[in-house]
Chains A and B, each alone.
Chain A
Amino acid sequence: MAHKIKLEEIPLSVVDLGRREGATDVSAALTESRRIMIRFSNNEITVSKLFLDVTLDIFVMVEKHRAATSISTISQRSIERAVKNVVKIAKATPPADVYAPLPQGPFSYDRNLLKAPKIPLDPGTLTAYVESAIKGALEKGAERAAGTLNAHRARMHLATSGDVYASQEISGLEISVRAFMSEFATGHAVSIASRPEDFNPEEAGMRAGEIAKAASNPKPGEPGKYMALLGPLVFADFVNQVGSLSSAFLVDAGQSFLIDKIGLEVASKKFTLIDDPSLVGTLGARAFDDEGVPTRRKSIIEEGVLKTYLHNSLTAKKFGVETTGNAGIIVPHPWNLIVEPGSKSVDDLTSEVDDGIYVTNDWYLRYQNYRTGDFSTIPRDGMFQIKRGEILASIKELRISDNMLRILQNIIDLSIYRTWVRWWEVEIPTLTPYALISELNFTKSRM
């Protein structure tokens, strides 16, 4: 290992050392990241945060024996110690049930995906974003706004014993705004973008403000089964559940309602869910996964039929299929979820509802049973009655208590309009329409 460490060269030297120590397979990913977060509430900034991190993740196999390590102390001595230690631990670890060598490269990657757009990280610009979001919310009638602005740039250098050596840039701008008319009348909206020109904090603030204003003076809702219009934040949360639980690792662990359903109709024909990390200029764009495999667009669910689980090379070997380029060294995961649009405007979807409920946001989704998909979640922010095709009274105090597979089957239609969502409750960037769902079950707390 070189005496003076250049960060981008560390992964290669880790792979070399790991092999010399006796590992059959080694991957090493070094990530340098710079993130600025500005949090605000009651129309003022509560804290400004700067995160400067360099982390090194190492995974080794001695055939079926696996071990992993992550360190944040980047010095020649600490890296050498970590590599020797992780190989030693792998050798002492009982064998796993399958061995799949790390995928053999070198691979060619889409050069456009290796670079990320430049985003501003100067405090002046970022503070101005926050001001414009608050201004947008207040202009639409909200009394106060709270939220988070996130700006980040990162560079990941990956080397593997499969002749992979590549660097990937990642960047993004995200704002999440919650507007308040009162403690019961709130609205939430987000703007997320990889390119600064796609980022619109003021519009997010305005949308949050509009919902908050419309949600004024909510009345208790009545529990029951309703046709429901789910706004993008809610539907993105549900879609994240489907995308994340399509991970083969979680299926194998019993933590997924998609178990034993490949090739079966799990959703309405209107529903097609794609994982597409190859979309240049989006937040979840990636050129390669954590094993160095080039990422690709894939349908998880196509016109209602479950097409694939998400795999890395180990889960793929176990399931007898090819990797989908979704490593996660241990747990495969989606990168960038896309729901194909429907054929109707949001107004047309609304007009189909005779007696229903429009939900703009939700939080706290918990399962009674991951394998059956029974769960509940709490609508928050604006929730409205729909009568004879018109969005009317603001309502509160209801909970969605249903089953994820039933909801997917009950998708009546989706909007043409789609928007990108990621926030505190929605981890994977998701391009989602509004969704019209039949027979959605709402329950309520008893006083």
Chain B
Amino acid sequence: MESLVEFAIDSARSMGAEYAEARLQTDLRESIIMKNGVLEASAFEEYRGLGVRVLVNGSLGFASINILRKRNVEGALRRAFRMARLASKLMRREILMGKGDLGNDKVEVKPRVKFADVDLDSRVSLLKEADEQAIAAASARDVRVPARMTSLDTWITEKFIATSDGANIRSVIPRVALFAFITVFHPQKGPVQRYFNLGETGGWEVAERWNLPKLFYEETYALSNILLEAVKPPEGKMDVVLGPEVVGIVSHESCGHPSEADRILGREAAQAGETFLKKDSIGLRVGSPQVNVADDPTLKGSFGFYIYDEEGVKARRRILIKEGVVNEFLHNRETASVFGVESNGASRSVAYNREPIVRMANTFFMPGDYSKEELLEDVRDGIYIKNFMEWNIDDRRFNQRYVGLEAYKIENGELKNLVRNPVLEITTVRLWSAVDAAGKDLEFQAAYCGKGDPMQGIPVWTGGPHIRLRGVKINGA
């Protein structure tokens, strides 16, 4: 089967492509879905196919196919080649593949406990126990938990990537992912909801380490407390401490996305949009000196883990904001050539039938020196927002809103009562500029970042420490 990769590249070159890249990708996924304690279904998927990109007269063509016969692959390639050549007549600027540290390597993450060694009973029992603990937690606070929805996925992605200019990468990456959606309800108080994702690279040992029953108990107990105890938040200008979950989404939305070089060039303009950053924004101050944000695909065990990107370029940590100043953008080889830099390995694709595009991997606010207690002790009158439910940001990545879920009043450096749905609606520069201190802790959350057309929901981590914002406006929802 792997010979098809070489065949595709040779065929594309013989047709006259300046550049060709082929990726044979297999995704094997097993899922179970539990709703309100009942297993709705178990499922497994096996998607295997070939995705090929060709550069013809400076115009890019992509073809994907899952009938893996030479005749069919060649036919698809011919069509992609013709389409690209025709489109080249409308091009004013030739697309070029810029420089990058191309690899010739094999990357394999070996699970300690193989998925094949974990039977369905064990998986179902784990979710069932977690579900029972959610009910127990709600019961302990005398509320109902009428809706629980959980899915648990294990999947293995195998890739063989080669390019006409010498990259040759084989990889095998196993992942575990959990999605949970919990509703607690009280007849006088109404419903409160939360969903969360867990995701890591590794084998079944990851799911065991998560201790789902304990986590579901804690999450549901906290949600019940919010339902019963949270009161209207204070409004107005105040100091705010954000927990790692909120800091993670802020880093992703307000630093990671604006730093994607393809957005800067307008390539996503009609879908995910553009960015307030411009090609010449390197060196622009967007926050206080305490703000340092990185994106790093090489974090071991991370949900967005990879060592080589889909163009065969070796990945590395990217410092996107350094001491409050825009430091680096996320590049693939196409954008790197326009910016006159080397690709930093940000080209990703979620399946064989998706075009590789510029993506984040694991985006996080880099830790500072403070303990959580130190961050809090200097706040006389403020709010601590631990996590969130609703959020969004405009398509220039400048105007955003986060609505806290578990949030507390801070008085004289101490956490007090729960407050309900405090709203932080703020611009990117105002938010980053308000940061006066960052914690030394660091936590990550799993997420699926959406971008591209067709949409590609790609595994990422978002993360950071606790951080403190001075004098920002808080509203009630």
A66-99 Cβ-contact flags toward B at 8 Å (1 or 0): 1111111110001000100110011011101100
Assess whether B147 is in contact with A254, with CB atoms less than 8 Å apart: yes
Say yes or no for B266: interface residue by CB 8 A criterion: yes
Assess whether A399 is in contact with B72, with CB atoms less than 8 Å apart: no
Within 8 A of A (CB), among B250-270: 265-270
Q: A364-B393, A365-B392 are in contact. Are A42 and B266 (CB under 8 A)?
A: yes
Say yes or no for B442: interface residue by CB 8 A criterion: no
Residues of chain A within 8 A of B242, CB atoms compared: none
Assess whether A399 is in contact with B425, with CB atoms less than 8 Å apart: yes
Assess whether A50 is in contact with B67, with CB atoms less than 8 Å apart: no
Which of B89-97, B160-168, B279-287, B377-385 is near enough to bind chain A? B89-97
How close is A293's CB to chain B, nearest CB, in angstroms? 19
Which of B46-54, B201-209, B294-302, B313-321 is near enough to bind chain A? B46-54
Q: How many A-B contacts if CB must be within 8 Å?
A: 259
Assess whether A144 is in contact with B266, with CB atoms less than 8 Å apart: yes
Within 8 A of B (CB), among A111-148: 123-124, 127, 130-131, 144, 146-148
Assess whether A89 is in contact with B425, with CB atoms less than 8 Å apart: no
A89 to B39, CA, bound (A): 13
A399-438 Cβ-contact flags toward B at 8 Å (1 or 0): 1010000000000000000000000100000000000000
A178 to B267, CA, bound (A): 12
How close is A281's CB to chain B, nearest CB, in angstroms? 24
In this complex, which of B93, B121, B271, B353 has the most chain A Cβ atoms within 10 angstroms of its Cβ? B271
Assess whether A51 is in contact with B473, with CB atoms less than 8 Å apart: no
Assess whether B473 is in contact with A446, with CB atoms less than 8 Å apart: yes
Say yes or no for A370: interface residue by CB 8 A criterion: yes
Say yes or no for A299: interface residue by CB 8 A criterion: no
What is the chain B residue whose CB lies nearest that of A176?
A: B270
Residues of chain B within 8 A of A48, CB atoms compared: 59-62, 80, 83-84, 86-87
Assess whether A66 is in contact with B149, with CB atoms less than 8 Å apart: no
How close is B196's CB to chain A, nearest CB, in angstroms? 14
Q: A74-B67, A330-B33, A380-B395 are in contact. Are A86 and B87 (CB under 8 A)?
A: no
Assess whether A53 is in contact with B66, with CB atoms less than 8 Å apart: yes
* Interface residues of A, count at CB 8 A: 86
For B40, give its contact among A52, A73, A96, A127 (CB under 8 Å).
Answer: A96
Say yes or no for B413: interface residue by CB 8 A criterion: no
Assess whether A254 is in contact with B181, with CB atoms less than 8 Å apart: yes
Assess whether A96 is in contact with B48, with CB atoms less than 8 Å apart: no
Say yes or no for B13: interface residue by CB 8 A criterion: no
Residues of chain A within 8 A of B421, CB atoms compared: 368
Assess whether A369 is in contact with B66, with CB atoms less than 8 Å apart: no
Within 8 A of A (CB), among B457-477: 472-473, 475, 477
How close is A189's CB to chain B, nearest CB, in angstroms? 11
Assess whether B39 is in contact with A96, with CB atoms less than 8 Å apart: yes
How close is B42's CB to chain A, nearest CB, in angstroms? 5
Assess whether B42 is in contact with A67, with CB atoms less than 8 Å apart: yes
How close is A64's CB to chain B, nearest CB, in angstroms? 10
**Additional pairs, 4, CB under 8 Å, beyond known A330-B41, A401-B477, A445-B400:** A50-B64, A53-B353, A253-B36, A378-B392
Chain A interface (Cβ < 8 Å from any Cβ of B): 36-39, 41-55, 59, 66-74, 78, 82, 85-86, 89-90, 92-94, 96-97, 123-124, 127, 130-131, 144, 146-148, 176-178, 180, 183, 188, 249, 252-255, 330, 363-372, 374-378, 380, 397, 399, 401, 424, 443-447
Chain B interface (Cβ < 8 Å from any Cβ of A): 33, 35-36, 38-49, 59-68, 72, 76, 79-80, 82-84, 86-87, 90-93, 119-121, 124, 146-149, 181, 183, 190-193, 265-271, 273-274, 353, 355, 389-396, 398-401, 403, 421, 423, 425-427, 430, 453-455, 472-473, 475, 477
